[in-house]
Amino acid sequence: MSVGTQKGSLLPENAYRKLEPGEEYIPVVPDDKIVPEVTPYSLLWGIFYAILFSMAAAYLGLKIGQVFEAAIPIAILAVGTSVLLKRDNALQENVIIQSIGACSGVIVAGAIFTIPGLYILGLNASFIQIFLASLFGGFLGILFLIPFRKYFVKDMHGEFPFPEATATTEVLVAGESGGEQAKTLVKAAVIGGLYDFFVSGFGFWKEVVSTEVFRWGQVLSDKLKLVFKLNIGAAVTGLGYIVGLRYASIIAAGSFLSWWVLIPLVYFIGQYIPEPVLNAVKPISQMNPQEIFNAYVRHVGIGGIAAAGIIGIIKSSKIIGGAIKLAVSEFTGKHLSSSENQRRTQLDIKVKWVVTLIIITIIATFVFFLVGVVEFNFKHAITGVLIVTIIAFLFTTVAARAIAIVGTNPVSGMTLMTLIISSVILVNIGLSGSKGMLAALIIGSVVCTALSMAGGFITDLKIGYWLGTTPRTQERFKFLGTLFAAASVGFVILVLYKTYGFGPGGLEAPQASAMAAVLKPLMSHQPAPWLAYMAGIFLAIILEIVGVPPLAFALGMYLPIYLNTPVLIGGIISHFVSKSTKDPELSAKRRDRGTLIASGFIAGGAIMGVISAFIIFIGKQFVSSDWTLMKAIGTEHWADSSGAEILGFLMFIVICIYMYFDSKKVRK
């Protein structure tokens, strides 16, 4: 990609592509130019959005299990506000607003994927437990990532697509530069936003369509457990366009292995077993494809993600060793700063301060576990803090790499693995039952938040690298955003629990429900699906040997097929747009226009998700507890009908055609 080739764009031509030998990337705001970054304006707006979006994201995430990416709607609001106020040189202020505000989504994900599980299991969590678990997890995620910033955002420039960072950067740049680029982005955001809102808000057509809507598809599903599912959202398709065909194909291949090979295979063998296997609640013969995926096949993907992470850690051992060596040299006073490290756009918080803050955070986490979780049992508290530190540190790079490749952080899968490891260890040291479940879920919450923060923060740092923000400034004020987001999440989870409750009959909290379902038998000495994890581990090793990125493939196996198929289609559109002409310059311009359209789709979908969450929340407060937009306009039954599903297929074809032909509008 080379957005800089477009007229009016602020981004350099080599912003998204690999650099040639000796070539250097010069950001929008170069080293020698100083513009306002942290001001009272950017600070106050950033904190405001961190609080506001924490509450919105928590409600939506607990309702449907999806936490929207807050960075994009915050970037849109920041740009819009600066334009309305006619604020000059607001680009870097908007980066800081987005960076502080984006703490909301990542902190929310860490909390709601785990904490509601305590209530579902009949255990209560206090505000201080939720707040401190989120706070310390967020701090560890920031601190563990800082030493790897240079590797991910500078050394690997052009190697990873960074889809979320690309979309957010396009929003910020379009708002600053205006002109044709801004018009293209805004038009796509309006179209993509309305399209997604017509689906998820009004229910005019179905959001997830499958071959089961057809008679032949239902037969395949019933007899062979074969099904094709597709999320027809514009935002997910836009994500696929930015990811590109190569990674999209690998992700989809993992999904196809899960759904078209392993699920039918599990059914073929398991249909003759009359009793439920492992911790399942029904026999395999009575399960549909989705239930088989959740109960058995998904665990292969979790094992693959864990193994891919370990492989990545081994391959990155030189980088990790270099970070440790740098820390030692700074503490011993032997570190000589290179000229590059003195450049404004490469300034990080000094490693000695990073290490000092890590030690302080670990000690604070130990005190929290000792006093607030395990009732002054030193052995249990030390074990808990060791689990948190080791897993969070090792899988920080995994979370960052996943976000850099596909824009999706498999944090729930890694947290599930953390819960299993924690449970096995805690049970063996004598901590089980309700106290063990409390400790395991708090440990899982800290780790989940740390990994979620690491994935989200690498997006912020990549945006700052493209635009020329001082990394040290982003790093310092990320702590402030984490503080306010953690406090907001603790408050809103308690309010939502007292208002609706969690689990069946209340807010579903799907991930937390799954965590609780896995944790309870483990704390009761029931078996875990170790064979499935081992299968995923060996598969990841084989993929690494043959040269296929195991993390992308394992992500495909772990995520539902309906989220991976639109990513593949977006990647295919990107490929055909690139191949629509033999002229390299024209091909680049068309690809760039497609990137703007895809970014608009993502931005529109994100902002409409926020609006939809607020509308539903207000309706439930002032109309009735089961109020929805679909009920209000009478489309509730239509949205689940076969007609709406077929219409969903057709509308998806329409949005894909628009994306392809509008990208080709560029003429030489």
Beta bridge partners of 208: 231
Residue 399 lies in a domain: yes
Q: Is 541 buried (19+), middle (13-18) or exposed (0-12) by CB count in 10 A?
A: middle
Residue 272 lies in a domain: no
Q: If you search the block for the tokens 């984006």, which residue do you land on?
A: 102
Task: Please tell me the total number of residues recorded for the chain in this structure.
Answer: 668
345-372 b/e with 16+ CB inside 10 Å = b?
bbebbbbbebbebbeebbeebbebbbeb
198-224 b/e with 16+ CB inside 10 Å = b?
ebbbbbbbbbbbbbbbeeeeeebbeee
Query: Coil, strand or helix: which one is 181?
Result: helix
pLDDT at 341: 57
Residue 274 lies in a domain: no
- What is the Cα Rg of the chain in Å? 24
pLDDT at 3: 40
What angle (nearest 5°) sits at the alpha carbon of residue 469, between those of residues 468 and 470? 115
Query: Coil, strand or helix: which one is 230?
Result: strand
d(CA 607, CA 194): 10
Closest CA to 23 of 15, 33, 35, 31: 15
Residue 227 lies in a domain: no
Residue type, 229: K
User: Encoding tokens for residue 114?
Assistant: 């785990």
pLDDT at 1: 39
d(CA 188, CA 325): 47
Give the residue ranges of DSSP H helices in 429-507: 433-467, 471-499
Domain that holds residue 64: 3-11+35-212+235-245+291-663
Cβ contacts of 181 within 8 Å, gap of 6 or more: 6, 7, 8, 9, 173, 174, 596
Closest CA to 461 of 662, 160, 198, 238: 160
Residue 616 lies in a domain: yes
151-189 b/e with 16+ CB inside 10 Å = b?
bbbbeebeebbbbbbbbbbbbbbbbbbeeebbebbbebb
- pTM value? 0.75
Three-state SS for 309-373 is: HHHHHHHCHHHHHHHHHHHHHHHHCCCCCCCHHHCHHHCCCCHHHHHHHHHHHHHHHHHHHHHHC
Reduced DSSP (H G I as helix, E B as strand, rest coil) percent helix, strand, coil of the chain, to 5? 75, 0, 25
User: Encoding tokens for residue 66?
Assistant: 């999806």
Q: How many CB atoms lie within 10 A of CB 336?
A: 6
85-113 b/e with 16+ CB inside 10 Å = b?
eeeeebbbbbbbbbbbbbbbbbbbbbbbb
Contact 564, 255 (CB under 8 A): yes
User: Encoding tokens for residue 123?
Assistant: 């255990």
Q: How many CB atoms lie within 10 A of CB 317?
A: 10
pLDDT at 612: 73
d(CA 365, CA 376): 13
All residue ranges of the chain with pLDDT < 70 are 1-9, 56, 59-69, 176-182, 279, 316, 319-320, 322-324, 326-341, 406-410, 412, 499, 503-511, 514, 524-527, 606, 609-610, 613-614, 617, 625, 668
pLDDT at 622: 76
pLDDT at 508: 61
d(CA 82, CA 175): 9
Contact 139, 521 (CB under 8 A): no
Residue 383 lies in a domain: yes
Q: Is 31 buried (19+), middle (13-18) or exposed (0-12) by CB count in 10 A?
A: middle
pLDDT at 18: 84
Closest CA to 137 of 99, 164, 105, 106: 106
Longest dimension (CA), the chain: 73
Question: How many structural domains is the chain composed of?
Answer: 1
Closest CA to 290 of 252, 263, 255, 260: 263
Closest CA to 103 of 64, 143, 59, 57: 57
Residue type, 312: G
